């Protein structure tokens, strides 16, 4: 080996060393603890009955076993990592958030959910309650530090339990704890999940209202069978999979500029969309999957209905925020080994509807739902916490419009997963069913 090569090699090693020393330590925890260092949720159940039952109904207890997670992890992420070694660390990393015990045990990929291994515990009691600190400045990519053992950490000081020791740690009241899994940066350096970061720059962080207030609300009761009465953090973790949580998130009102029109006039409608309920943007989290769109219809006095097209605002990248018939998600063809895959429809939301979303793009610039294969992000047209967006609809009255009252309805729809993708990957229908977030109505009177 000549001197020049040696210099390059040592420079490279030094760089690698620097990167490994400055990177969050989360990666290093892979394989650090055997499964049996953690207690099973059923052990906690005997005393923490209510909390246990709440948790079993929350997505936290299904983060590994849920159908769509299984499909995306095995059919897309693991399959992709088998074709491209560079994807292996990120596919292993899925488990750092979805089944931390399997990740910490180095059991990756874990057995399929049907095999009923301990990976199925998903985000478990003993996982969360043995986190002692967070590594790095910005919580993300499972940057929790795990210290399993007899001591269970929580938000309250001085509690006693016959089964374990307890210790109060501030992180249990802080949004940063949640951010260790609810923020994700992918290998391209893209923030593909940023719920805690969105919260942090919004009004709720400024008002000192962490995630817990809305997702773990406190109510009077006993946290354990033998405990004193007090205010207890309910382990609801309810979000996109709870219709009631999603409904009413955005309030909508709509009015025309003119109430009375001639039959050949132009109607101008304005729709106000106020996000009064989420502490982060709507949608948040799996932004690559979620779709929220506004549909406006007119019904004339004869009962005939018309679909209205939103007025474009002219901002860069807006084409991804107006529904179309284009095809997208071609990169699913890579893990599925479909040569020259044409893709599936970008959305199934009619044409010309406003879509509140942020598009994810693969390295070829095509829209993707594979967040690990995301090389850039499109314009962020989601609705921020306490933000109000206004959409305008300019509609030339059709020649055959019936004279009389024209009633307009605006419907804000939500799907957890874009339907063409759900259908293509055979994800059970509940993941792509429509939830109506809200509706509004207004009217004009047409004279001849």
Binding residues for ligand HEC restricted to 37-56, rule: CB under 6 A: 39, 41, 43-44, 46-48, 51-52, 55
Distances 415 to 243, 282, 303, 357, 394 between C-alpha atoms, Å: 11, 12, 29, 11, 27
> What is the largest distance, in Å, between two alpha-carbon atoms of the chain?
91
291 binds ligand HEC (CB under 6 A): no
91 binds ligand HEC (CB under 6 A): yes
Which helix (H) or strand (E) segment is 176 a member of?
A: helix 175-182
135 binds ligand HEC (CB under 6 A): no
Q: Closest CB to ligand HEC among 13 and 83?
A: 83
The least CB distance from residue 69 to ligand HEC, in Å, is: 4
Q: Considering only residues 317-376, where is the footprint of ligand HEC by CB under 6 A?
A: 372
Reduced to 3 states (helix: H, G, I; strand: E, B; else coil), residue 167 is strand
282 binds ligand HEC (CB under 6 A): yes
The least CB distance from residue 185 to ligand HEC, in Å, is: 8
Reduced to 3 states (helix: H, G, I; strand: E, B; else coil), residue 293 is strand
166 binds ligand HEC (CB under 6 A): yes
270 binds ligand HEC (CB under 6 A): no
Q: Contact, 328 vs 378, CB < 8 A? A: no
90 binds ligand HEC (CB under 6 A): yes
The least CB distance from residue 426 to ligand HEC, in Å, is: 14
Instruction: Please identify, among the stretches 95-103, 264-272, 303-311, 356-364, the one whose residues bind ligand HEC according to the rule CB under 6 A.
Output: 95-103
Contact track, ligand HEC, 231-260, x by CB under 6 A: -xx-x-xxxxxx--xx--x-----------
C-alpha dihedral over 17, 22, 26, 28, to 10 degrees? 20
103 binds ligand HEC (CB under 6 A): no
Q: Is the dihedral of CA 104, 108, 113, 116 positive or negative?
A: negative
| C-alpha to C-alpha distance for 302 and 403, rounded to whole angstroms | 8
Q: Are strands 218-221 and 250-256 parallel, antiparallel or unpaired?
A: unpaired
161 binds ligand HEC (CB under 6 A): yes
| C-alpha to C-alpha distance for 88 and 295, rounded to whole angstroms | 41
381 binds ligand HEC (CB under 6 A): no
């Amino acid at each position: 080996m000549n001197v020049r090569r040696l210099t390059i090699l040592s420079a490279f090693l030094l760089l690698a060393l620097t990167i490994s020393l400055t990177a969050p330590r989360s990666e290093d925890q892979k394989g650090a603890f055997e499964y049996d260092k953690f207690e099973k949720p059923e052990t906690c159940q005997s005393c923490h009955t209510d909390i246990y039952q709440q948790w079993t109904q929350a997505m936290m207890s299904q983060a590994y076993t849920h159908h769509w997670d299984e499909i995306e992890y095995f059919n897309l992420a693991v399959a992709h990592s088998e074709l491209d070694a560079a994807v292996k660390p990120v596919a292993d990393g899925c488990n750092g958030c979805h089944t931390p015990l399997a990740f910490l045990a180095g059991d990756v990929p874990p057995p399929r959910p049907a095999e009923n291994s301990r990976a199925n515990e998903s985000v478990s009691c003993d996982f969360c309650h043995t986190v002692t600190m967070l590594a790095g400045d910005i919580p993300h990519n499972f940057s929790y530090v795990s210290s399993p053992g007899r001591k269970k950490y929580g938000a309250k000081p001085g509690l006693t339990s016959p089964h374990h020791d307890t210790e109060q740690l501030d992180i249990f009241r802080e949004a940063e704890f949640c951010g260790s899994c609810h923020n994700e940066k992918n290998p391209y350096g893209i923030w593909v999940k940023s719920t805690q970061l969105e919260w942090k720059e919004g009004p709720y962080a400024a008002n000192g209202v962490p995630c817990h207030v809305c997702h773990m609300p406190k109510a009077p009761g006993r946290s354990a069978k033998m405990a004193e009465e007090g205010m207890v953090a309910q382990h609801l973790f309810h979000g996109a999979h709870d219709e009631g949580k999603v409904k009413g998130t955005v309030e909508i009102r709509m009015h025309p500029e003119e109430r009375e029109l001639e039959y050949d006039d132009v109607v101008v409608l304005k729709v106000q969309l106020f996000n009064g309920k989420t502490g982060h943007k709507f949608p948040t989290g799996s932004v690559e999957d979620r779709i929220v769109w506004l549909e406006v219809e007119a019904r004339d006095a004869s009962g005939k209905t018309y679909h209205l097209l939103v007025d474009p605002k002219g901002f860069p990248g807006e084409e991804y925020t107006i529904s179309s018939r284009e095809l997208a998600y071609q990169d699913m063809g890579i893990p599925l080994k479909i040569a020259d895959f044409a893709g599936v429809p970008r959305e199934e939301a009619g044409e010309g509807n406003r879509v509140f979303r942020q598009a994810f793009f693969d390295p070829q610039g095509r829209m993707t739902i594979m967040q690990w294969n995301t090389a850039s992000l499109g314009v962020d047209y989601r609705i921020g916490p306490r933000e109000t967006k206004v959409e305008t609809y300019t509609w030339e009255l059709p020649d055959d419009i019936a004279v009389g009252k024209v009633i307009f309805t605006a419907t804000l729809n939500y799907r957890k997963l874009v339907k063409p993708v759900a259908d293509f990957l055979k994800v059970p229908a509940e993941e792509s069913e429509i939830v109506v977030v809200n509706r509004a109505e207004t009217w004009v009177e047409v004279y001849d």
